[in-house]
Structure 1
Amino acid sequence: MRITLVGSRHFGVTTLNMLREHGVEVVRVVVADADDRLASTAHAVGIEVVVQAKPKLVVASEIAPNSDLIITAHSHARISREALAVARYGGIGYHPSLLPRHRGMAAVEWTIKEGDPIAGGTIYHLADRMDAGAIAAQDWCFVKKGETARQLWERALAPLGLKLLAEVIDYAIVHKALPAKVQDEEFATAAPSLSAH
């Protein structure tokens, strides 16, 4: 399984480490910023790093040739349709909510703001619309009373994302396909950045 990882920051690094421990081949890491810690971690272990020409878009030439799968981990860039077509199974990402609830950049913050008693994570197929692709895997967790978004992310949602990514990769290796369940638009809610107000 040859993977192109698109991402940034701490979750990008923990995802890279999980993939390497999981025995799949990360052939290229794509970052928006050459100084990002994911770039330096990839360089340190001899993985090719490509810096996106446009920070909000990943194009086909930035995906490693013969990739089986594109995985995004803390990436705010859209993966173009042409880029997705380079990889045998397209691309998946992790979203820290029970999609279609809380689509957007601030899913964990909105989980806390709305007082949701249950949170969760979703591995979803990358598609033209942000966070709207078919669901490949999903699981949930309880939210502790008084927990902040950061505490919830670190305690439950980040580890959940790594576990679900590993499960979907294992499924793809065995079945030569990704699981896919269409999201129910009736339950979609938006989770725009809260700092924008």
Structure 2
Amino acid sequence: MKGKGLILGAAIVIVAMSTVLAGCGSDTKQANSLVREAGDLAGTAQDRMTEIGKLLQQASDQLTDGNIEEEKASLDQAQVLIDQTIADLESAKSKVDEAASLDISDAFRQYLEAKSKVMEGGVNMMNASRELTALLQADPGLERPETLEQVNALQEQVLELNQQVQAAEAEAQRIADENKDDIGTD
């Protein structure tokens, strides 16, 4: 009878523990799923950013060559991609923020908060790029002196935002490296 009580007690402990683990695991699994979705969106955004860079370089070359109409067309294409990229990054940030709000480890939450800053910085960079592109669309030949001043200021802003994004990414990586067992991964 005593053995039966120990087995029953062990079964109760196992069931209780599995309930606790299931609760943690399900939120971690849900968080991982959201992070994967965010990663897919961020990957698409990154591919678009490469294309945006090419289009802006192309527009610059077209300006240098005096092909203003072609420059405008390149800027228009870049603007469309910028808007799509902003939407993807905002959606990715939303998914990361949702994952961070779940019942997950503190280390995983800190990691996700750093990743959220990366996404937010990306959105801010793309907004500055949108403003830059709109400025160039309004004055494609850079004929007004204030346009060049504004372009330079926006380029400085983008560089500063890029540094912030890199710092947030480095922080996320540091957290991940220091907490490999606590960061939820599949």
TM-score by length of 2: 0.27
**Rg (Cα) greater in structure:** 2
Higher relative contact order (CA 8 A, sep 6+): 2
TM-score by length of 1: 0.26
